[in-house]
Amino acid sequence: MVDVQWQGFSAARKVADLAETYELNMAPHNYNGHLSTFQSLNLCASLSNVQIMESDPDAVPVRDELFTALPEITDGHMKIPTAPGWGTELNEKAARTYAWTA
Protein backbone atom coordinates (compact mmCIF):
# COMPACT_ATOMS: atom_id res chain seq x y z
CA MET A 1 0.00 0.00 0.00
CA VAL A 2 1.46 3.37 -1.04
CA ASP A 3 0.31 6.96 -0.56
CA VAL A 4 1.07 8.68 -3.85
CA GLN A 5 0.19 12.12 -2.47
CA TRP A 6 2.63 11.71 0.46
CA GLN A 7 5.47 9.74 -1.14
CA GLY A 8 5.28 11.34 -4.56
CA PHE A 9 4.62 9.61 -7.85
CA SER A 10 8.21 8.53 -8.58
CA ALA A 11 8.80 7.02 -5.14
CA ALA A 12 5.42 5.24 -5.24
CA ARG A 13 6.32 3.86 -8.66
CA LYS A 14 9.65 2.55 -7.30
CA VAL A 15 7.82 0.74 -4.49
CA ALA A 16 5.43 -0.76 -7.04
CA ASP A 17 8.30 -1.93 -9.25
CA LEU A 18 10.00 -3.55 -6.24
CA ALA A 19 6.72 -5.24 -5.25
CA GLU A 20 6.33 -6.58 -8.79
CA THR A 21 9.79 -8.15 -8.55
CA TYR A 22 8.49 -10.25 -5.65
CA GLU A 23 5.12 -10.90 -7.37
CA LEU A 24 3.23 -8.71 -4.90
CA ASN A 25 0.22 -6.60 -5.80
CA MET A 26 -0.25 -2.90 -5.12
CA ALA A 27 -3.22 -1.19 -3.48
CA PRO A 28 -2.79 2.61 -3.48
CA HIS A 29 -4.07 4.21 -0.28
CA ASN A 30 -6.30 7.14 -1.18
CA TYR A 31 -8.42 8.79 1.48
CA ASN A 32 -8.18 12.41 0.36
CA GLY A 33 -9.98 14.49 -2.27
CA HIS A 34 -10.23 14.28 -6.02
CA LEU A 35 -6.66 15.39 -6.75
CA SER A 36 -5.21 12.45 -4.84
CA THR A 37 -7.71 10.17 -6.60
CA PHE A 38 -6.42 11.35 -9.98
CA GLN A 39 -2.81 10.95 -8.83
CA SER A 40 -3.51 7.40 -7.66
CA LEU A 41 -5.37 6.60 -10.90
CA ASN A 42 -2.36 7.73 -12.93
CA LEU A 43 -0.14 5.43 -10.86
CA CYS A 44 -2.57 2.54 -11.36
CA ALA A 45 -2.56 3.15 -15.11
CA SER A 46 1.21 2.76 -15.20
CA LEU A 47 1.38 -0.52 -13.25
CA SER A 48 0.69 -4.15 -14.06
CA ASN A 49 0.39 -5.30 -10.44
CA VAL A 50 -2.54 -3.25 -9.11
CA GLN A 51 -5.05 -5.21 -7.09
CA ILE A 52 -7.36 -2.42 -5.96
CA MET A 53 -7.31 1.33 -5.28
CA GLU A 54 -8.87 2.76 -2.16
CA SER A 55 -11.17 5.77 -2.48
CA ASP A 56 -13.39 7.74 -0.13
CA PRO A 57 -16.81 8.35 -1.68
CA ASP A 58 -18.35 9.68 1.57
CA ALA A 59 -16.46 12.96 1.86
CA VAL A 60 -17.85 16.47 2.06
CA PRO A 61 -19.93 17.44 -1.01
CA VAL A 62 -18.06 20.72 -1.54
CA ARG A 63 -15.05 18.83 -2.88
CA ASP A 64 -16.90 18.30 -6.19
CA GLU A 65 -16.89 22.08 -6.74
CA LEU A 66 -13.14 22.38 -6.19
CA PHE A 67 -11.95 20.59 -9.34
CA THR A 68 -12.50 20.94 -13.07
CA ALA A 69 -13.01 17.19 -13.61
CA LEU A 70 -14.39 14.55 -11.27
CA PRO A 71 -13.58 10.84 -11.13
CA GLU A 72 -15.87 8.84 -13.39
CA ILE A 73 -17.06 5.68 -11.62
CA THR A 74 -19.06 2.95 -13.35
CA ASP A 75 -19.80 -0.39 -11.69
CA GLY A 76 -17.07 0.19 -9.11
CA HIS A 77 -14.39 1.03 -11.68
CA MET A 78 -12.84 4.47 -12.18
CA LYS A 79 -12.03 5.67 -15.65
CA ILE A 80 -8.38 6.59 -16.19
CA PRO A 81 -8.14 10.34 -16.91
CA THR A 82 -6.94 11.42 -20.34
CA ALA A 83 -6.64 15.18 -19.78
CA PRO A 84 -3.14 16.70 -19.44
CA GLY A 85 -1.30 16.53 -16.12
CA TRP A 86 -3.14 14.60 -13.43
CA GLY A 87 -6.40 14.87 -15.37
CA THR A 88 -8.01 17.60 -13.26
CA GLU A 89 -7.18 21.09 -12.03
CA LEU A 90 -8.12 23.18 -9.04
CA ASN A 91 -11.12 25.45 -9.59
CA GLU A 92 -9.53 28.52 -8.01
CA LYS A 93 -12.76 30.52 -7.91
CA ALA A 94 -14.46 27.79 -5.88
CA ALA A 95 -11.40 27.41 -3.66
CA ARG A 96 -11.51 31.13 -2.85
CA THR A 97 -15.18 30.78 -1.90
CA TYR A 98 -14.27 28.23 0.78
CA ALA A 99 -10.96 29.76 1.87
CA TRP A 100 -10.27 30.00 5.58
CA THR A 101 -10.38 33.64 6.71
CA ALA A 102 -9.07 33.65 10.26
Q: What's the pLDDT at 59? A: 75
- What is residue 84's predicted lDDT score, i.e. its pLDDT? 94
Residues in Cβ contact with 79 at an 8 Å cutoff, skipping those fewer than 6 apart: 71, 72, 73
Question: Between 58 and 22, whose confidence is greater?
Answer: 22
Q: Is residue 102 part of a domain?
A: no
Residue 18, amino acid: L
**CATH code assigned at 74:** 3.20.20.120
Domains: count for the chain: 1
Q: Is 31 left (phi over 0), alpha (psi -120 to 50) or beta?
A: alpha
State residue 72's pLDDT score.
93
Residue 48 domain-assigned (yes or no): yes
| pLDDT tens column, 30-72 | 888 899 999 999 999 999 999 999 887 777 878 899 999 999 9
Residues 78-95 have pLDDT tens digits of 999 999 999 999 999 999
* Separation CA 36–CA 101 (nearest Å): 25
Non-local CB neighbours of 52 within 8 Å, separated by 6+ positions: 27
**Which domain covers residue 76, as residue numbers?**
4-97
